């Protein structure tokens, strides 16, 4: 899975170099054995972005750092490219990330699927593991959120899934890593909330193709079926 993510990152037009940052010697050896670059980091990082910042601090020859999380084997190079372009073309934002429609009620209800809310300009308002926004009137009619989603599938259009990708201005990433964790970040276990709580502007762009973050055994089975062409 890690090697597939590296390959998709390197297939992106604007990406000149891909490094796997890990504190696991097994991952390090697998990546190096396949001919890709890997860097060992400290094991005490609070999030993936903090781990990334340790490596970025040594890379003084680049201004933009892309964080493709290792559990996104289906991420499209075009999605990565869109996020890079959005950062380069918008001086007001410090970070860009991506989202895609949610098409399954199970994904709305799953705490493993992170939902994102944006304003009219595409700036992130909030990220949550909870089903946000909450369709209060529909839930009142049907008796529960699960029943509302089943009875009125059009409600799915309210929800957006956050994709495991960030593009940072390097100077912001290093600043971010120096901040203490925030209450909402720790409550939801979502590193991007540290950015919002400190007032950073995060632009959310549309993913070019659907992706599946592998957080569970069921996710892994779905991804394997897609890659092997056996998904029904």
What global pTM score does this model have?
A: 0.88
Is residue 220 scored above 90 in pLDDT? no
Nearest to 130 by CA among 147, 143, 115: 115
Work out whether strand 37-40 and strand 19-22 pair parallel, antiparallel, or are unpaired: parallel
3-state SS assignment for residue 226: helix
**Is the pLDDT reported for residue 212 higher than 90?**
no
At 232 the pLDDT is: 43
Nearest to 117 by CA among 204, 207, 189, 209: 204
Calculate the CA dihedral of residues 189, 128, 4, 42 and round it to 10 degrees: -20
| Cα gap 144→150, rounded to integer Å | 10
Q: Return the structure tokens found at 82.
A: 């869109």
Model confidence pLDDT, tens digit, residues 126-141: 999 999 999 999 999 9
What SS3 state is found at 228? Answer: helix
DSSP 143-205: SSHHHHHHH-GGGGGG-EEEEEEEEEEHHHHHHHHHSPP-HHHHHHT-THHHHHHTT--EEEE
Rounded CA-CA distance 18/99 in Å is 22
Q: Which domains does the chain have, with CATH numbers?
A: 2-228 (3.90.550.10)
From the CA atom positions of the chain, what is the Rg in Å?
Answer: 18
Residue 112 in this model has a pLDDT that exceeds 60: yes
Q: Nearest 5°: CA angle at 221, between 127 and 206? A: 35
| Rounded CA separation 175/93 (Å) | 14
3-class DSSP assignment, residue 114 = coil
Q: How confident is the prediction for the chain on average, in pLDDT?
A: 93
Write b or e for each residue in 50-59: b if 16 or more Cβ atoms lie within 10 A of its Cβ, otherwise e: bbbbbbbeee
In this predicted structure, the answer to whether residue 70 has a pLDDT above a threshold of 90 is no
Q: For 4-48, how does the pLDDT look when each residue is reduced to its tens digit (9 = 90+)?
A: 999 999 999 999 899 999 999 999 999 999 999 999 999 999 888
Q: What percent of the chain has pLDDT over 90?
A: 81
Q: How far apart are CA 200 and CA 81, in angstroms?
A: 22
């Amino acid at each position: 899975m890690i090697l597939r993510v590296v390959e998709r990152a390197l297939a992106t037009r604007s990406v000149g170099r891909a490094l796997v940052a890990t504190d696991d010697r097994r991952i390090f050896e697998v990546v190096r054995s396949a001919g890709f670059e890997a860097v060992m980091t400290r094991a005490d990082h609070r999030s993936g972005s903090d781990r990334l910042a340790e490596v970025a601090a040594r890379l003084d020859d680049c201004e933009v750092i892309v964080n493709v999380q290792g559990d996104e084997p289906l991420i499209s190079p075009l999605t990565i490219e869109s996020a890079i372009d959005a950062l380069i073309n918008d001086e007001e934002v410090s970070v860009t990330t991506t989202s895609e429609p949610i098409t399954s009620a199970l994904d709305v209800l799953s705490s493993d699927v992170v939902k994102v809310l944006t304003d009219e300009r595409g700036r992130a308002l909030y990220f949550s593991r909870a089903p946000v926004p909450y369709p209060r009137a529909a839930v009142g009619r049907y008796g529960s959120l699960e029943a509302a989603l089943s009875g009125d599938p059009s409600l799915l259009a309210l929800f957006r899934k956050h994709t495991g990708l960030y593009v940072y201005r390097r100077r912001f990433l290093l600043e971010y890593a120096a901040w203490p964790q925030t209450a909402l970040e720790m409550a939801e276990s979502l590193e991007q909330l540290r950015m919002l709580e400190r007032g950073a502007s995060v632009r959310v762009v549309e993913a070019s193709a659907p992706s599946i973050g592998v957080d569970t055994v069921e996710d892994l089975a779905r991804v394997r079926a897609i890659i092997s062409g056996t998904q029904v």
